[in-house]
């Protein structure tokens, strides 16, 4: 009952990632994550997962060193500790998000995996799933959307992956079929911002023709001007359930929102609590995509949920390339968030490796059953963790750099932000 943190282990891992295209370039052959283990003097281990860009990793290590003696229940104390340890060195997120996102402080991103691990610990200690610690599960399964990407057949100089090339509407529909047939997804999201808007609208229209009843989303990550965004919204009105980040910034989004009835969602212009009030004042977005890695853990993501509910906004959930500890945390959070009525995003189908054996969190009908065991409901397989850590050591990737990698292949590439 009075367990204290005794030691903390941060393990960077790398796992193979397909060449998924986006507005700032292309995914590197290796995606990085940091696995956080928080041990207590009572022999429990709580787990967290976060980015592993080297700046972020150094900050995690600094916090980890200061954690012994802390009480896993004391989230506010943990947060003060993170603020103290980071001191003034909090500029940027520490994780580059491929160059797409920026926040003014790294506190929430550094705090997040420790908060999750502490909730895992408390759940294990009291024999309750984390969803119970967040007020109780309101659903026993969490629906996800199938995340479609334009992609190459394989990374240059590496074997082709099993998904193959997807650079036009037909190939996107084929990718969707594989996603729907394999995982049962009941909604689909296309990562856009890769080709000019007409081509991406055509892909959405092809998906609509193939799947007349599935909710569809298009996310060009701010590739368009406000004027183009309005034109796309007119074309896809009644076709998409929402447009995600058609154009950059709160001001740009607000100017689009004022001229269309198509709901606008964001994971770029509102990614920290400092952005909420300006976005509300501007009427910039109808739906916020939460992300516990960015928003400071599960309880602060629940706060974001309460804020969107209070201000009449919708709530969805964002994903970066991630492993199963993140998926478990996303599922526990989503289960305990009543107003999370949109299917969550996930990159999970795009990876083939994890830090625990397959089957613990499986997709049926596009949803994941909420683990009912103590804590997050997942345990590390130390052999698999070791393998993925060795891959990290070998692969040489130390930060996510979609643009740098793309330029190594196409030196003329420039990010498509607000290009069209």
Catalytic residues: 191, 318
Considering the rule CB under 8 A, would residue 273 count as an interface residue with a copy of itself? yes
Give the DSSP letter of residue 151: B
Considering the rule CB under 8 A, would residue 311 count as an interface residue with a copy of itself? yes
**Residue number with CB closer to a copy of itself (125 or 245):** 125
Q: Which residue has the tokens 């599935």?
A: 214
Considering the rule CB under 8 A, would residue 258 count as an interface residue with a copy of itself? no
C-beta pairs of 211-216 under 8 Å, 24+ apart in sequence: 211/176, 211/180, 214/180, 214/185, 214/186, 214/187, 214/188, 215/145, 215/186, 215/187, 215/188, 215/241, 215/343, 216/187, 216/188, 216/189, 216/190, 216/240, 216/241
The full DSSP string for 175-210 is: HHHHHHHHH--SSEEEE-SSS-HHHHHHHHHHHHHH
Tell me the C-alpha distance between 388 and 406, whole Å: 24
* Cα separations in angstroms, 283 against 224, 234, 261, 340: 19, 19, 12, 20
What's the min distance (Å) between Cβ of 383 and a copy of itself? Answer: 31
Stretch that binds a copy of itself, among 21-29, 44-52, 200-208, 272-280 (CB under 8 A): 272-280
Considering the rule CB under 8 A, would residue 396 count as an interface residue with a copy of itself? no
Position among 138, 202, 384, 409 found at the interface with a copy of itself (CB under 8 A): 138
Considering the rule CB under 8 A, would residue 1 count as an interface residue with a copy of itself? yes
Considering the rule CB under 8 A, would residue 156 count as an interface residue with a copy of itself? no
Considering the rule CB under 8 A, would residue 306 count as an interface residue with a copy of itself? yes
Considering the rule CB under 8 A, would residue 413 count as an interface residue with a copy of itself? no
**Residue number with CB closer to a copy of itself (71 or 205):** 71
Tell me the C-alpha distance between 174 and 38, whole Å: 42
Considering the rule CB under 8 A, would residue 69 count as an interface residue with a copy of itself? no
What's the min distance (Å) between Cβ of 405 and a copy of itself? Answer: 36
Stretch that binds a copy of itself, among 14-22, 154-162, 300-308, 397-405 (CB under 8 A): 300-308
Tell me the C-alpha distance between 7 and 70, whole Å: 10
Considering the rule CB under 8 A, would residue 254 count as an interface residue with a copy of itself? no
Residues making up the chain, counted from first to last: 420
Task: Determine the distance from the C-alpha atom of residue 355 to the mean position of all C-alpha atoms in its chain, rounded to a whole number.
Answer: 18
Nearest to 21 by CA among 166, 156, 222: 166
* Cα separations in angstroms, 151 against 8, 98, 175, 334: 38, 16, 10, 29
Stretch that binds a copy of itself, among 34-42, 122-130, 173-181, 216-224 (CB under 8 A): 122-130
Considering the rule CB under 8 A, would residue 312 count as an interface residue with a copy of itself? yes
Q: Where are the beta strands (DSSP E) in 327-394?
A: 363-364, 367-369
What's the min distance (Å) between Cβ of 296 and a copy of itself? Answer: 11
Coil vs helix vs strand at 250: helix
Considering the rule CB under 8 A, would residue 358 count as an interface residue with a copy of itself? no
Interface size with a copy of itself, residues (CB under 8 A): 35
Considering the rule CB under 8 A, would residue 239 count as an interface residue with a copy of itself? no
Considering the rule CB under 8 A, would residue 13 count as an interface residue with a copy of itself? no
**Residue number with CB closer to a copy of itself (303 or 380):** 303
Q: Give contact residues for a copy of itself (rule: CB under 8 A).
A: 1-2, 71, 73-77, 80, 125-128, 132-133, 135-138, 273, 276-277, 280-281, 299-300, 303, 306-307, 309-312, 336, 338
């Amino acid at each position: 009952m009075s367990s204290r943190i005794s030691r903390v282990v941060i393990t960077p891992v790398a796992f193979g990632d397909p060449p998924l295209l986006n507005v700032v370039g292309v995914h590197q052959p290796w995606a990085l994550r940091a696995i956080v283990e928080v041990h207590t003097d009572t022999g429990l281990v709580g787990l967290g997962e976060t980015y592993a860009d080297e700046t972020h990793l150094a900050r995690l290590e600094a916090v980890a060193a200061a954690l012994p003696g802390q009480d896993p229940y004391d989230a506010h104390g943990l947060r003060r500790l993170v603020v103290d340890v980071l001191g003034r060195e909090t500029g940027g997120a520490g994780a580059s998000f491929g160059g797409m996102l920026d926040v003014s402080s790294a506190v929430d991103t550094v705090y997040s995996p420790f908060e999750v691990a502490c909730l895992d610990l408390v759940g294990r200690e009291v024999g309750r799933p984390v969803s119970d610690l967040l007020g109780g599960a309101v659903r026993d399964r969490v629906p996800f959307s199938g995340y479609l990407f334009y992609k190459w057949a394989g990374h240059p100089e590496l074997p082709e992956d099993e998904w193959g090339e997807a650079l036009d509407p037909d190939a996107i529909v084929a990718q969707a079929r594989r996603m729907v047939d394999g995982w049962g997804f009941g909604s689909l999201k296309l990562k856009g911002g890769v080709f000019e808007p007409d081509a991406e609208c055509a892909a959405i229209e092809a998906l609509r023709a193939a799947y007349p009843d599935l909710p569809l989303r298009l996310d060009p990550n701010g590739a368009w001007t406000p004027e183009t965004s309005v034109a796309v919204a007119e074309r896809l009105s009644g076709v998409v359930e929402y447009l995600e980040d058609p154009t950059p910034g709160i001001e740009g989004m607000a100017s689009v929102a004022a001229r269309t009835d198509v709901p606008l969602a964001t994971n770029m212009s509102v990614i920290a609590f400092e952005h909420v009030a300006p976005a509300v004042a501007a009427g910039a977005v109808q739906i916020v995509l939460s992300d516990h890695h960015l928003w400071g853990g599960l309880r602060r993501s629940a706060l974001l949920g309460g804020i969107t509910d209070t201000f009449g906004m919708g709530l969805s959930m964002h994903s970066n390339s991630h492993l199963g500890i993140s998926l478990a945390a996303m599922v526990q959070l989503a289960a305990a968030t009543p107003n999370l009525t949109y299917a969550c995003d996930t990159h999970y189908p795009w990876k083939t490796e994890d830090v625990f054996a397959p089957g613990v969190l499986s997709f049926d009908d596009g949803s994941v059953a909420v683990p009912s065991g103590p804590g997050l409901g997942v345990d590390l397989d130390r052999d698999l963790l070791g393998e993925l850590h060795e891959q990290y050591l070998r692969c040489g990737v130390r930060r996510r750099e979609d643009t740098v990698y793309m330029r190594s292949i196409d030196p003329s590439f420039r990010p498509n932000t607000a290009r069209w």
